[in-house]
Structures are given as C-alpha cells and as structure tokens.
Amino acid sequence: MIPEKLRKELEHQQYRIVGGHSAVKICEWTRKSLRGEGVCYKERFYGIRSHRCLQMTPNITCDQACLFCWRVIEKTKVFFSKGCDEPGDIIDGCIREQAKLLSGFGGFEGTDRRKFEEAKKPNNAAISLLGEPLLYPRISELIEGFHRRGFTTFLVTNSQHPEILERIAEPTQLYISVDAPDRETYRLLDRPAKRDFWERLLESLDAMRGFSCRRVLRLTLVKGYNMKNPEGYAKLIERASPDFVELKAYMHIGESMKRLPREAMPLHEEVREFSERVSELSGYPIKDEQRESRVVLLSR
C-alpha cells in the first residue's frame, strides 16, 4: 500500500516499514539511553524505560498537516482501501525490525551492555511515530495485543476522531494533542482535513473524561503561532480534566524546517514562563520539567 518511492525515502530516514501501512523507528532518546547520554522525559515523568521503548505506528496516514510536524506529511497519504494487516503481524514485525535497527549498538564501544540486552525485549509501545493511529481500523486489537505480551502502551491521537475514542480499548496512557487555544489558530497551525475540526476536538476532550487510564493533554508550543491566550488553554484543560498536561517546545527538525523558521522554536525559559501562566489559570501546578527536551509537566 506504500508507494515504493515513499518507502525508500522513509527507509533513508531510518524508518522501517512493516507490512502494508505500519512503521517503526528508533527514538533518539533510545539511542542516548543505550550510550549513557540521558533518557527521555517520559522515563523521568512516567517511569517507562527509554531503552526498552518501541516507537511505532500502525498507520502512516494522517488527516492533518500540522506546520510543526517533522514527518513527511505531504507524502503519507495511504488509505485502507484493500483491508489492513493483522495486529499480531504488526507487533511481530515492529519488534523484529527494531531488533535489526538496534543490532549496530552491539559493536559500539560506548554501549551500556546491560541496557543493550534489555533493549532486545521492548516492553513499552509508543504508538505515536507517524500518522494518526486511530485511522488503523483494528487499533483496539493492537492495544490489547501489546498488553497480552506484557507491554505498556502510550497512545497519541490528534483529537479528530471522538467516535473512535468513545469505543477504543484503553491504553496505559492516552495522549490528546491540543495545539491551539481557539478555532482559528487550530485551523492555521494544524491544517485539519475536516470542516468540523474544532467540534471534534471538543468531543474528544469530553471523551477523555471517560477513560480510567492515565490521561495527558499535549501542547506543542510554536513561538509566534500558538503561545498565546493561556485562558483558552485553561478552558480546554478544564473540559478534559486530564491527569497531566505537557507543554513542550516545537523542535526545528526534519520536514518542519521547510515550513517554519528556526525562531518558531521557543527556548526552555519561554516554555516555562508560558507554562506558569497556564498553570495559574488552570489550577494544575507545575510538577516537573526537563530542560533538554524543553518540556514542562503540570499535574493535578
């Protein structure tokens, strides 16, 4: 289902294609952890182990074209017109391809040997690599399949599919991306495909309230675009009532460099300052932060 030209381009960027529409890629923080150079903020905030994380997607397609996205979003328009792959096959394939990608660390002098051996047996699936995971028709079976194998699951969605959220199997941690405090900013920054995009966002936030798993709102902050109207963000946070709110800087990397200037990437101090304003208005105090990732965590 993925055109050969696109497949080669993704593989050149160190993605590995699994089946007809899935992909896996080693996270930079997995690399750093194996080399003893630090860990992902998700390890610090939520306790997962960076070197045992499987960063994958069951679907490379997205129905938004966010300006800040570092992926090749203009080319990943692959649809499930001829059915889809089995969840178990996707899991097997992602584990297998990640093992191949990790194999080179075995000969690297700076590799932590204990972590390297543990990395061969990942135990957390970050279902957030590329595309919108909820567009994979068997997403619930995929989540349940990971859980049966002893994985925790971190699922990230763009908020545009509340009808799926309402009936999905619960992951270990649910992320909803909230990239704008108002309709017009959302339209300009996220460039959604659906006309009722704002209503869908609000419905997804309402649906989040019904989950018993750990729930997180993710705010990607783009300087000059959406670092404004903290009152609007506070209202959205109140509506969703999440356990945590992450405010993270947009990073000027990948394909996003073709769409945004470097100045759109805020400094950690700027993220912290904006987070303090959102914290005060939402009643969610600052719990932690990681300067390297330019991210601040709010918690109830």
Residues 97, 229: one domain? no
Q: Are strands 152-157 and 124-127 parallel, antiparallel or unpaired?
A: parallel
Question: How many domains does the chain divide into?
Answer: 2
The tens digit of pLDDT for each residue in 144-179 reads: 999 999 999 999 999 999 999 999 999 999 999 999
Residues 112, 162: one domain? no
- The domain boundary, picked from 132, 151, 170, lies at 151
Domain ranges, residue 109: 1-151
Q: How far is CA 5 from CA 1, 49, 160, in A?
A: 12, 34, 29
**Side chain identity, residue 265:** M
Of 9-13, 209-213, 282-286, give the lowest mean pLDDT range: 9-13
Mean pLDDT of 69-98: 81
Please state, as a whole number, how many other Cβ atoms lie within 10 Å of the Cβ of residue 47. Answer: 9
How much is the pLDDT for 256? 86
Residues in the chain: 300
Nearest to 256 by CA among 14, 71, 43, 119: 71
Mean pLDDT of 5-32: 90
Residues 145, 162: one domain? no
- The domain boundary, picked from 151, 180, 210, lies at 151
Residues 168, 58: one domain? no
Nearest to 222 by CA among 270, 288, 151, 282: 270
Question: What strands lie across the sheet with 124-127, from one edge to the other?
Answer: 16-18, 22-24, 53-57, 124-127, 152-157, 173-177, 214-221, 244-249, 295-299, 286-290
Per the listing, tokens 């700076």 go with 110
* Pair of tokens at residue 55: 């960063």
Q: What is the pTM of this model?
A: 0.93
Q: How far is CA 161 from CA 185, 187, 205, in A?
A: 19, 16, 11
Residues 99, 169: one domain? no
Residue 12 burial by Cβ neighbours in a 10 Å radius (0-12, 13-18, 19+): exposed
Task: Kindly state the percentage of the chain with pLDDT values over 90.
Answer: 81
Residue 219 burial by Cβ neighbours in a 10 Å radius (0-12, 13-18, 19+): buried
Residue of 76 and 276 predicted with greater confidence:
276
The tens digit of pLDDT for each residue in 242-252 reads: 999 999 999 99
Residues 251, 166: one domain? yes
Q: Are 54 and 122 in contact (CB under 8 A)?
A: yes
Mean pLDDT of 76-85: 67
Residue 102 has phi, psi (to 5 degrees) of: -80, -15
Residues 98, 166: one domain? no
Residues 35, 144: one domain? yes
How much is the pLDDT for 222? 96
In DSSP notation, 128-162 reads -SSS-GGGSTTHHHHHHHHHHTT-EEEEEE-S--H
The tens digit of pLDDT for each residue in 47-78 reads: 999 999 999 999 998 889 899 888 776 666 65
Reply yes or no on whether the pLDDT at 212 is more than 70: yes
Mean pLDDT of 196-203: 97
The CB-based long-range contact list for 285-294 (8 Å cut-off, 24+ gap) reads 287/244, 288/44, 288/45, 290/41, 290/44, 290/45, 292/38, 292/41, 293/40, 293/41, 293/248, 293/249, 294/248, 294/249, 294/251, 294/266, 294/267, 294/268
Residues 71, 122: one domain? yes
Residues 146, 51: one domain? yes
- The domain boundary, picked from 134, 151, 168, lies at 151
* Pair of tokens at residue 73: 């979003």
